[in-house]
Chain A
Amino acid sequence: NAGVTQTPKFRVLKTGQSMTLLCAQDMNHEYMYWYRQDPGMGLRLIHYSVGEGTTAKGEVPDGYNVSRLKKQNFLLGLESAAPSQTSVYFCASSYQAGAQPQHFGDGTRLSIL
């Protein structure tokens, strides 16, 4: 039981390049989330999904797209990377909303040059 797995763990991109971050969970959770963590800013929600085939915007969605084609996977895409997107990205999942705790992945450290 791996929980929440994120790939890749590290990546360096050049401005304008595109890439996709993959999040996979094996807990049969309905809800999945993408956060970014920046120094002094805490965790900010980018996008989230309440079930297969659904996505919704969070606090800082601009420059990102997401897809939830399968229940266990939640993909975060950067179409044209910008230096401001240099951050650590965390994926999380939860069984339900509200008081159910979120389970986090190890994070992806992304640098945009």
Chain B
Amino acid sequence: AQRVTQPEKLLSVFKGAPVELKCNYSYSGSPELFWYVQYSRQRLQLLLRHISRESIKGFTADLNKGETSFHLKKPFAQEEDSAMYYCALSNSGYALNFGKGTSLLVTP
């Protein structure tokens, strides 16, 4: 069975500190993984997908098949990064399987 685990419900860091939001998955096939972000009072939006290997708003995420992880990282957190972050896995079918989310709070 496929599963996405985000072990931290809440992560609080100071502005300028590095941040890592953890995501682990279980899936028997070749996973397609995403990070979605939801800022306060805004719609959920795509932040990153692993096939793109891009950096968005300073965030990066590397797929580690050996550790079955897709952690989201940023070297220097900004206050505007405060949001809810969801890791999601796409199965070979149609739907996304979301983790329960991590609320990131960046304090000055």
Contact = CB atoms under 8 A, between A and B. Distances in A.
Counting contact residues on chain A (CB < 8 A from B), the size range is 20 to 34
Contacts of A58: 95
Interface residues of B, number: 23
A104 B45 contact: yes
A35 B100 CA distance: 13
Looking at B45, B90, B92, B94, the one whose CB has the most chain A CB atoms below 10 A away is B94
A58 B32 CA distance: 19
A102 B94 CA distance: 10
Given A97-B90, A98-B90, A99-B49, A43 B98 contact: yes
Given A43-B98, A90-B44, A102-B46, A97 B93 contact: yes
Among B6, B86, B95, max chain A CB count under 10 A is at: B95
Interface in A61-113: 90, 92, 97-99, 101-102, 104-107
A42 B100 contact: yes
B96 interface: yes
A47 to B, nearest CB: 10
B1 to A, nearest CB: 11
Contacts of A99: 32, 49, 51, 90
Contacts of B94: 31, 48, 50, 56, 97
Contact of B92 (A35, A98, A104, A106): A98
Interface of A: 4, 31, 33, 35, 40-45, 48, 50, 56, 58, 90, 92, 97-99, 101-102, 104-107
